[in-house]
Chain A
Amino acid sequence: MNAVDGSDHYERAIEGPVPSLLVIVLDTNPHAWALLSSSLSLSKAVANLLVFINAHLAVNNANQVAVVASHSHRAVWLYPTPPSMSEDFDMNKAAASSLSDANKYRPFALIENSLVTSLRSLISTTTETDIATTSTTQMAGALTLALSYINKATIVFNDMDTSSKPAPTGLENTEPQIGLQSRILVVSVSGDLAHQYIPIMNTTFAAQRLRIPIDILKLAGDTVFLQQASDATKGIYMQLQNARGLLQYLMMAFLPDQTSRKHLVTPTQDVVDFRAACFCHRKVVDVGFVCSICLSIFCSPPEGALCLTCGTHLTMGDYGSKPAVMPRKKKKKRKLNGEGETHSGRGTPTPGD
C-alpha cells in the first residue's frame, strides 16, 4: 500500500529540461578592441561566439538566443534585428545566400547571417567623430535592452505554453522551475564604467529580483561594477588570461544553463570588489559620505550640504573634514571579544547582503 502511495508517483507533472534564453551583450567598443587586436581580433571573437551560440541552440530545440551590441554611443540589437525599413532587402539577401547551403543547419545559418550583417552595418555607420568623442561603451543601455527582451520573451513563452498559466508578475514569486530560463552573458572588453554606475546597479538589482544570472566574460580591462553584477545575481565571472582559448572557456564555463549548473562547480571570483561610485563625480570611492535619507554616496560633502539626489539638508558636525575614525576606546572590548575585529575592520558595506 505504501509503495503505491509514495508521493513521487503523481508529482511528475511537468518534467524534462526547460528551454533557456541566452542574451549575449557584446561589447563592441572600438578602442578596447583595437588594444586587444594583437591577441584576439573582433572577427575571431565573433566567430567563436557564433559557434557558442550554435552550441547553445543545439542543446535544446526550444532554446533561444538574442545578441545586443554595446557600442560606443548606443546599444544596438544584432539579433534578432528590430523590424526596420531596410529589413526586406536584408532578408532577401540573407535568404539567398543561406538557401543554397545544404551543409549547414538552417537555423544556425540564419542567425549567423543576420548577426554578421547587422554587426557590419553597425561598424560601417560608426563615424570617426563617434570614436573620437568617447572611449567607453553603453553597457547600461545594453543590459537594459537585454532585460526588457527577456521580460517580453518570458511573457510570450508563458502565453504559448499553456494559455491558462498565470502571467508572470515580475515579482519574486514567479515560479523558477517552469517557464523560460533566461540568463545574460556579457562579453566585456572595456575598462572603466564608473559614469554608468547607477544604471548598471539598477539593472543588476532588477536581474537579481527576476533571478536572471549575469555572466561576465572579461577579455580585457577590469570593471568593479560588472563584478558586483555577477556576484549579486549568482552569475559566473571570468577574467581570461589568454584570450586565444576563448571558445573553450565559452563551451565549458558559460554554456551550462541553470539546470546543469546545479550539478557543476561554477567558476566564481574569490574576491569581489564592492566599492561604489560617488553620485557627484562618478569616482570609485573606498570611503565616502552617505546621505542619511536616500543613501546617495558622495566623495566629498555636496555643496551647501544639500543632497544632490533628494535635496535634503544634511548637517554634519565636522563639516568638510575626513569621516570620523573609530575612537580608540574600543581597544579594550576587542581584547575581550575577538570577533568584533572583523566587523569593524571591513571598509565598505556590502550591497545586497
Chain B
Amino acid sequence: MMSVSTLASFDYLERLPGTTFRRLYQQPSTSLAIFRRMLPHLAKTFVMALLYMSKPLPLTDLDLWVQPSSKRQKDQALSLLSRLNIVTITAPSREDPQVVSLTKNFKSALQLALTGGGDHQSFGVPSSDVIEDVDLRFLDEYARDQWEGILHYVVNSVGDGMRQDGQGPTLAVKDLLEAGKLVTKGRHSGGGITQAGFSFLLQEVNAQVWTLLLLWIENAEKMSMDHVEVLSFLFMLGSLELGRAYNTTTLTESQQRMLGHLVDFGLVYIPPSTPTQFFPTRLATTLTSDASALRSVSAGFDAALTAATGSKGFIIIETNYRLYAYTSSPLQIAVLSLFTKLSSRYPNMVSGRITRESIRQAISHGITSDQIISYLTTHAHPQLFKTAAAQAGGPVLPPTVVDQIRLWQIENERMKATPGFLFKEFENQKEYEGCAKYADEIGVLVWKSDAKRMFFVTRHEQLRDHIKSRKAK
C-alpha cells in the first residue's frame, strides 16, 4: 500500500519542522510533487476529497466513508498526513467534535497546481530558442554517462578496481560521496566503500538519485543554501518536460548555483553554446514518479541506464542457487560480485553461484539480505516474471533461495535493533489496553507484553497526545 515508503527522502521530509513545511507548500509544484510521491494511495484520496471542501470534515463523517475493515489503513493515512503537515486535526474536546481539514498553504497551492494560474512560475519557464542537436537520445546518454561515472567511482573504491578510467565524477561529487560516508579515503591504500555505499549501490536508480540529492541538501546547508529553496527547486525539476529547454535567467541566484551541481550528477544538461538554457534529463524529470510509474513508463530510469545492455532485467536465478546475468556492463558485474561467487564470464553473460560464503562476505560488508533480495527482484529477467505470472502472481525469485539468503543472514544476526520508546507503568489494565490498541492502529507498535503491561513504539508524538486526551477525559 505505502508507495515506496522506504525512500530516504521520505524520512528526511518527515523530520523537517512545521515551519519548513509551510514554506515548502507555498510552491504549487512542490505541493503537487509531495502529494504525488510521498503519500500512500488512500491518503491521496482523502486529500482530494478535502481539497474543495469549504468546511472542515468531522472525523465521524470520515469514519462513515471508510469501510470498517480498513480502519487501520485510514488511521495510518491520517497520521502520515498530519506528520507531513498536510492536514490538521483539531484536538478532541467535549464540546466540539474532532474535525479534519487541509492546511491552508497546502490547500491553496494544490488548488493552484490543479487549476493553473497565479504568478509563481514554479513549473519552469521554457526557453523559446530551439537547439536542434539536443534530443532525447542525447540526453539519456548524457545522464547515463554521468550517473554511471558516479556509480563506477563507488564500486571501484572496493579494493581491486575492475577498471579505472580517467573520467570519473568531478571533484565536488567525490567530496560529496566521501562526506556522505559512501566511500572513505585514506584508510586503506585505495580508499574503500562503506556500508552505506553498499546499500546505495543496491538501491533502485530513483532511490539512488534521491540519496545523493539528500546528502547534497544536508551539505547545502553548510554551503549557506536554504534547504527549502533547494527542495522546491528539485520538485520543480520533477515537473519539467523531458527534451525541452528551460530558461536559467528566471531562476534565483542560489538556484543558478545549484544547476552547476546538478550538471555533475547528470540531472540537467547545459549546452555549452547557450549557457542561459538548461535541459532536464530523465533522471530529473522522473524524480517525482514512483516505482510503478517507472516500470510502466518504458522510458524510466532503467531504460535510461540500461539502454546499453538492451533490456531491463537480466538476472536469472535458479533454485539450485545458480545465477546467470545477461549483462556485459562492468558496473553490474561489479555489483553482482559483491554477493555472488562468479565463476565464468562470456561476452554477454556471467554466471556464478550464490553461496553461504559469498553472502556472509556481503553481510560482513554491511549489506543486508533484504537489499540483496530487492536487488535481485528489481533486476530479475523477464523470464522469471513470466514464470511468476504463469503461476498467477507467484514469487519472482525461487522461495528456497530467498529463504536461504535470509537464513544466512540470521546466522550472524540474532538481534534486531529498533530505535523507539518504551511505555510502561500504566495505571490499570484498561488504560494499557486502550493505548496499546491505539498504537497498533496508527502503526507504530513494535512489541508489547500484556503480562508486564508495557509496549514499545517507534514514534511517540501522536501517542502522547492520545494519552493526554485520555487523561483529559
Contacts and interface: CB of A to CB of B under 8 A. Distances in A.
Interface of A: 4-5, 7, 9-11, 13-19, 51, 54-55, 58-62, 99-106, 108-109, 112, 157, 160-166, 175, 177-178, 247-248, 251-252, 255-256, 259-260, 262-265
B403 A260 contact: no
A10 B32 CA distance: 33
Contacts of A157: 296
Contacts of B4: 16
Interface string B189-219: 0000000000000000000000000000000
A58 B32 CA distance: 7
Interface in B45-93: 45, 48-49, 51-53, 64-67, 70, 73-74
Nearest to A3: B410
Contact of A164 (B35, B53, B385, B397): B385
Given A16-B290, A106-B240, A178-B389, 7 more contacts: A5-B403, A51-B115, A61-B297, A62-B293, A100-B126, A255-B48, A263-B74
A251 B48 contact: yes
Which residue, A14, A18, A162, has most C-beta atoms of chain B within 10 A? A162
A103 B297 contact: no
Interface in B70-123: 70, 73-74, 110, 112-123
Which residue, B28, B73, B292, has most C-beta atoms of chain A within 10 A? B292
B383 A164 contact: yes
A105 B32 contact: yes
Contact of B116 (A103, A178, A255, A265): A103
B406 interface: yes
A13 B292 contact: no
Interface residues of B, number: 78
Interface stretch (B15-23, B36-44, B143-151, B158-166): B36-44
B393 interface: yes
Given A19-B292, A251-B51, A13 B126 contact: no
A349 B112 CA distance: 50
Given A99-B128, A164-B385, A263-B66, A58 B113 contact: yes
Contact of A4 (B29, B289, B407): B407
A256 B126 CA distance: 33
A163 B381 CA distance: 11
Which residue, A5, A16, A178, has most C-beta atoms of chain B within 10 A? A16
B372 to A, nearest CB: 13
A166 B390 CA distance: 8
Given A9-B403, A60-B36, A265 B117 contact: no
A4 B53 CA distance: 47
Nearest to A179: B296
A236 B395 CA distance: 34
A61 B290 contact: yes
A157 B298 CA distance: 9
Contact of A58 (B114, B120, B291, B410): B114
Contacts of B250: 102
Contacts of A106: 123, 239-241
A18 B120 CA distance: 32
B7 to A, nearest CB: 12
A13 B395 contact: yes
B114 A102 contact: no
Given A99-B128, A263-B42, A108 B67 contact: no
B386 interface: yes
Interface in B387-423: 388-390, 392-397, 399, 402-403, 406-407, 410
A162 B298 CA distance: 9
B113 A105 contact: yes
17 contacts: A11-B393, A16-B292, A54-B114, A55-B48, A61-B286, A99-B128, A100-B126, A103-B119, A103-B123, A105-B116, A160-B297, A164-B386, A175-B389, A251-B51, A259-B41, A260-B45, A263-B67
A120 to B, nearest CB: 18
B382 interface: yes
A19 B298 CA distance: 13
A175 B393 contact: yes
Nearest to B392: A175
Contacts of A55: 48, 51, 114
A58 B49 CA distance: 13
A-B CB proximity, top 3 nearest: A104-B116, A263-B70, A61-B293
B125 interface: yes
Nearest to B43: A260
B209 to A, nearest CB: 15
